[in-house]
Amino acid sequence: MITKYPIVTIILPVKNERQYITSTLNSIFNQNYPENKIELLIADGCSTDGTTEIIKNFQKDHLNIKLFENFGEIVSEGFNIALSKSIGEYILRIDGHSEIPPNYLKNCIELIIKEKFDIVGGCIETLSSGIVGNAISITQSSLFGVGGVKFRNSQQSKAGFVDTLAFGVHKRELFSELGGYDEEMIFNQDDEFNFRVTQTGKKIWMDPALKTKYFARSSYKKLFKQYFNYGLYKVRGFQKRGRIFSIRHLIPALFIGSLLSFYLIGYLYDQFLPFIILLITYLIFNIINSIVQSTSYLLIPFIFISFCVLHISYGTGFIWGLLKFSHKWSDKELKDYHFNKKYFMNNNNLK
């Protein structure tokens, strides 16, 4: 039970989030946590859809909101700009298309204080609109879709230590020790930071009772772009940290690479059997999982396509990353240029 509420800084990097920003902000101000102990820092990446106007309207009633310009328009840079200005003893970063439940801050803080964890968070419930969006949400929460990522499984029931999660509450000291987000990581910046945390022996705890809502892409084009970039920058994360985060990150690229290799062998030697076997095996697993995961017969083909898009985009992105970043294996330097560490430490009297 908290007897003295510490200040929590919530950092919200956004760009063109008009559709969801109101519900995100409402979820923050509906917390059963004293509002005068919440600092909300929003880094806007040059939104053009009216997002900033909505935020400014909220500022009229909530003096704890500060809005910063993020001219780089990437999450890691915006996060670091806001992080430098933060005063909270604990730091939470969430997205402009997410919602946290009313007990989120209080429960996370209680766990960190009581158990002395370094990062605490919950799992996410992936939501979207329309039949395609619904199918995408299902694939992003499934074992076949994204591997054994515990925080993406909203049916997870067992609390425990994890290697990464989304929307975790961090001890402030982590950033003074390990730096801010790496701005070279256009995607997967939180994943790379979490691996930095676990590499130093610190602990990330996930409590599945804490469920945040995450609004996913609602078109296959957006899904392809998202997961292509996840695969692309996963390579750079491996290079930065000097090791593979998890074997599950390699499987889509191994599948795509094997499929292309077997097809090339078949083309050159008129022997397509390995290609056919691999392709049919994948299709069978895809169909089975599409049926199992579906809540209606109508959804099955859309889930099937979603699995294909997700796996192909991630796998090809990863392969492209191996080529694009082939000269960077020795470059492990942390590039958190917009994180003013001295100012950050003075803001909270960290030494």
Tens-place pLDDT, residues 299-329:
999 999 999 999 999 999 999 999 999 999 9
Chain centre to alpha carbon of residue 289: 24
Q: Which two tokens stand for residue 48?
A: 């053009």
Nearest to 310 by CA among 75, 138, 70, 109: 138
Question: What pTM was computed for the model?
Answer: 0.92
**Does residue 62 lie within any of the structural domains?**
yes
What is the residue-wise DSSP string for 66-78? EEEE-TT-SHHHH
Tens of pLDDT, residue by residue over 16-29, are 999 999 999 999 99
**Does residue 312 lie within any of the structural domains?**
no
Whichever domain contains 121, its CATH number is 3.90.550.10
Inter-residue contact 82 to 13 (CB < 8 Å): yes
> What is the band of 350 on the pLDDT scale with cuts at 50, 70, 90?
low
> What is the band of 247 on the pLDDT scale with cuts at 50, 70, 90?
confident
| Alpha helices (runs of H) in 99-241, residue ranges in sequence order | 104-115, 130-140, 143-146, 173-178, 189-199, 220-241
**Does residue 91 lie within any of the structural domains?**
yes
**Does residue 287 lie within any of the structural domains?**
no
**Does residue 298 lie within any of the structural domains?**
no
Domain count for the chain, please give it. 1
**Does residue 56 lie within any of the structural domains?**
yes
**Does residue 255 lie within any of the structural domains?**
no
**Does residue 239 lie within any of the structural domains?**
yes
Structural domain that includes position 52: 8-243+333-347
- Strand pairing category for 160-161 and 90-93: unpaired
- The amino acid at residue 250 is L
